[in-house]
Chains A and B, each alone.
Chain A
């Protein structure tokens, strides 16, 4: 049953994605750990973490594409779920520091000692166990998304209104996590991690292990998402995206379908955040910023809304571009990103993966003659 579910989503594109991920899973460890450092084929630990970061973003984009591309819910607050997952993992990592903090307190993290707290707040209990923290990575974003979605979908808040209140949600969380008395480190957030599951977090082996975990999570999420989309459930979801009222009139309980996809997507975003934190080494409230949610939306739009592979491609490409630009031409990055938003929405409504279909569909009709050239230029500009 389960195998059939996973196999159902496996078309040619899915095969390609999984092959690429498998290649990464083999090549990256070999190039980092086996190939000697002087060799041109050697991959530095820094690059591994960078790649891992891109893949975490890809997982976030995948989660977002599931709700935006297939159910039509544009979330401007997915970074909130990402950050909540990240905080759950960060809390586990904080507890692993133990007495090695600056103040040497075996129980309390440094920032609590600094704020003169006497004991661990109740919501920090249990986070010294990895299993509990891992569960919370799924549960916290999931429960928040479920509660939020339950209210929102039931009162039929749709379209732009929904987008704006998701933005309000992440903004409220941003403000909340900036407060010192919340007990999550205020604006410094959680950082200075030492080890994960007993392994030194800085060691190359651990880094590669985290990278492999990210690849595995991404592959699994991809299979789940494509399985859902290929199933009957997926058909209903797409139908809701296209005309929700008609699906409702046909007797489907559209709210429950939406709620399911929404909660699943939030859990995936939480996992992405949890994998992101140990690789980057810090989590702070700025991850909640509405701007980062909207940036995630543009990854999906660039790659191609409504194509899971496109979301992954878009996230990796845009973030690669960001790393390059902010290093080489920091002044230009926001122009490039802003331009990308405009150009993609104007000229690439289906994203890069839709480009081919767009070209072949348009050319024979003779319409919009100069357009294809413009698009190739966009592609290069990325």
Chain B
């Protein structure tokens, strides 16, 4: 361990010294830029280019912009920018402040057109052939965007030297873009079209449609038109996939919100209108846990979400047990009254949270491992959404196992199927009722932890999910967890596929109408329980 550390240290020192050494080598070269007129500058530029050190990039950029000057007093080459009456001078290599000078005390290093060309070639060479792959890649992307014909030669050299397959592809695409813009022989243009078709994004599409509209020959036009069609098809495919992902992501949010309800409503038959408030309590618990950690253990803030999970489960579950014992147990068998009583509870809980935490949104920040995104083909996937999808399925699986494989789950199923018989077999039905309701509420609390990451933590958080959750459970079929899963994913995808055509609000309205009509066709949902027991 210690040895490894020492190696690391040595390596760091080595890197630091080499870069310092390189900068020292550059200084005399930069110093010669101001002498010998255009030819002298050109010579210095070529030497900088050969040195191949990206540290020279700011110097050359300053030269290009006309900001590079020579101080008359000592011949020092500086970057001068207007500041007040005079100029502020900085060192071109280090960027350190050198001083100030009147406009008469410095001479501009002049450039002509020939020099301009070599400047952009040198800049391209320095960045395109930089030892840092990220710089090379972004330089190639920059050329793709600017389509600067001057960069073509450098690009060719860079492609020949490039070893990284992916960067070379970007460079080739950049070359294709330059060729298509500047015009070239028929064969080269055809190759360029093929390269851009392979790239297949919106930028490529724009370039290709330009060629399709105003290509030099008919053959080119047809080739480009074919390429446009191919790219459009590809984009549509990725677009559909992206929609599918959004649908999955929305579906898993719906699943999270509805799965607790699938227990209280689906298994127990209790219409819990306060379900959304259990979600809200879970979100506020997350907020409190995060605040607590921020105050007492700032190092652990990144873990606050993980710590909030058990806390939210216990808090929401505890509130659920209290509600069941105090209100709901008196109302079994009277679903409509249960609906009203729990609605009343939801109002009171909302107001309680509003009085305690205020009516405004509370900030729950995302941990570092949940922020950011990555690309998969043409898809952009944010880590936050990915974790929520994973989490939703994990909760679903855990609940399934709890219901099917544990003693507690067995008692829940026994009580729902035949209460008096379960009672006679020695199951304490009252306790099972309370715990089942607590389980459903606790899962709602878990959903609250996840939703605190993507929604505003406010007293109204739950209300925005309650109707959706009921739709999911009813659509999927009451009393069937798999139905809830399928219902959530189907409604999520349907919503996201309607959105591009109908807009977000109209899409939602259409989904609601679809559900209303669907329930007419199948009053017991997608996966209805079979048998006479369900006939109320």
In the assembled complex, which residues on chain B have CB atoms less than 8 Å from the CB atom of A158?
523, 536
Residues of A in contact, count (CB < 8 Å): 44
Q: Bound complex: CA of A333 vs CA of B517, how far in Å?
A: 37
A159 touches B335 (CB 8 A): yes
Q: CB within 8 Å of B: which residues of A?
A: 74, 148, 151-152, 154-161, 163-165, 167-169, 171-172, 175-176, 178-179, 290-291, 294, 297-298, 301, 331, 333-335, 337-342, 344-346, 349
B505 touches A337 (CB 8 A): no
Of A155, A160, A340, chain B has the most CB atoms within 10 Å of the CB of: A160
- Chain B window 223-235, contacts with chain A (Cβ cutoff 8 Å), 1 for yes, 0 for no: 0000000000000
Which single member of B330, B343, B351, B506 contacts A341 (CB below 8 Å)? B343
Q: CB within 8 Å of A: which residues of B?
A: 271, 327, 330-331, 335-341, 343-352, 354-355, 463, 467, 470-471, 474, 505-506, 508-509, 512-513, 515-517, 519-521, 523, 536
Which single member of A159, A298, A337, A342 contacts B536 (CB below 8 Å)? A159
Closest A residue by C-beta to B350? A334
Q: Bound complex: CA of A148 vs CA of B355, how far in Å?
A: 40
In the assembled complex, which residues on chain A have CB atoms less than 8 Å from the CB atom of B505?
175-176, 178-179
Q: Bound complex: CA of A171 vs CA of B505, how far in Å?
A: 11
A175 touches B508 (CB 8 A): yes
Q: Bound complex: CA of A291 vs CA of B344, how far in Å?
A: 11
A335 touches B341 (CB 8 A): no
B509 touches A172 (CB 8 A): yes
In the assembled complex, which residues on chain A have CB atoms less than 8 Å from the CB atom of B349?
338
A301-B467 contact given A157-B519, A157-B520, A335-B351, CB 8 Å threshold: no
A163-B339 contact given A172-B509, A346-B327, CB 8 Å threshold: yes
Closest A residue by C-beta to B351? A334
A160 touches B341 (CB 8 A): no
Q: Bound complex: CA of A346 vs CA of B328, how far in Å?
A: 9
A171 touches B345 (CB 8 A): no
Q: Bound complex: CA of A349 vs CA of B330, how far in Å?
A: 12
In the assembled complex, which residues on chain A have CB atoms less than 8 Å from the CB atom of B508?
172, 175
In the assembled complex, which residues on chain B have CB atoms less than 8 Å from the CB atom of A341?
340-341, 343-345, 347
A331 touches B467 (CB 8 A): no
Output the least CB separation between A104 and chain B (Å): 31
B523 touches A160 (CB 8 A): no
A337-B347 contact given A158-B536, A160-B336, A161-B519, CB 8 Å threshold: yes
In the assembled complex, which residues on chain B have CB atoms less than 8 Å from the CB atom of A171?
467, 512
Which single member of A151, A167, A179, A297 contacts B467 (CB below 8 Å)? A167
Output the least CB separation between A136 and chain B (Å): 22
Output the least CB separation between A343 and chain B (Å): 8
Q: Would you give 30 A-B contacts (Cβ < 8 Å), ordered by A?
A: A74-B339, A148-B516, A157-B520, A158-B523, A160-B335, A161-B474, A163-B339, A164-B474, A165-B474, A167-B467, A168-B512, A168-B515, A169-B512, A171-B512, A175-B508, A176-B505, A179-B505, A290-B467, A333-B351, A334-B354, A335-B352, A338-B345, A338-B347, A338-B348, A342-B344, A345-B331, A345-B341, A345-B344, A346-B331, A349-B337
Q: Bound complex: CA of A297 vs CA of B513, how far in Å?
A: 23
CB-based closest 5 A-B pairs = A341-B344, A338-B348, A334-B351, A338-B347, A172-B512
Output the least CB separation between A261 and chain B (Å): 17
B513 touches A172 (CB 8 A): yes
B347 touches A160 (CB 8 A): no
Q: Bound complex: CA of A164 vs CA of B273, how far in Å?
A: 11
Output the least CB separation between B458 and chain A (Å): 15
Q: Bound complex: CA of A157 vs CA of B523, how far in Å?
A: 6
Output the least CB separation between A346 and chain B (Å): 6
Output the least CB separation between B187 and chain A (Å): 53
A294-B520 contact given A168-B467, A342-B345, CB 8 Å threshold: no
A342-B509 contact given A159-B536, A161-B523, CB 8 Å threshold: no
In the assembled complex, which residues on chain A have CB atoms less than 8 Å from the CB atom of B512?
168-169, 171-172, 175
Q: Bound complex: CA of A256 vs CA of B474, how far in Å?
A: 25
In the assembled complex, which residues on chain A have CB atoms less than 8 Å from the CB atom of B536?
158-159
Output the least CB separation between B465 and chain A (Å): 12
Of B338, B509, B520, chain A has the most CB atoms within 10 Å of the CB of: B520
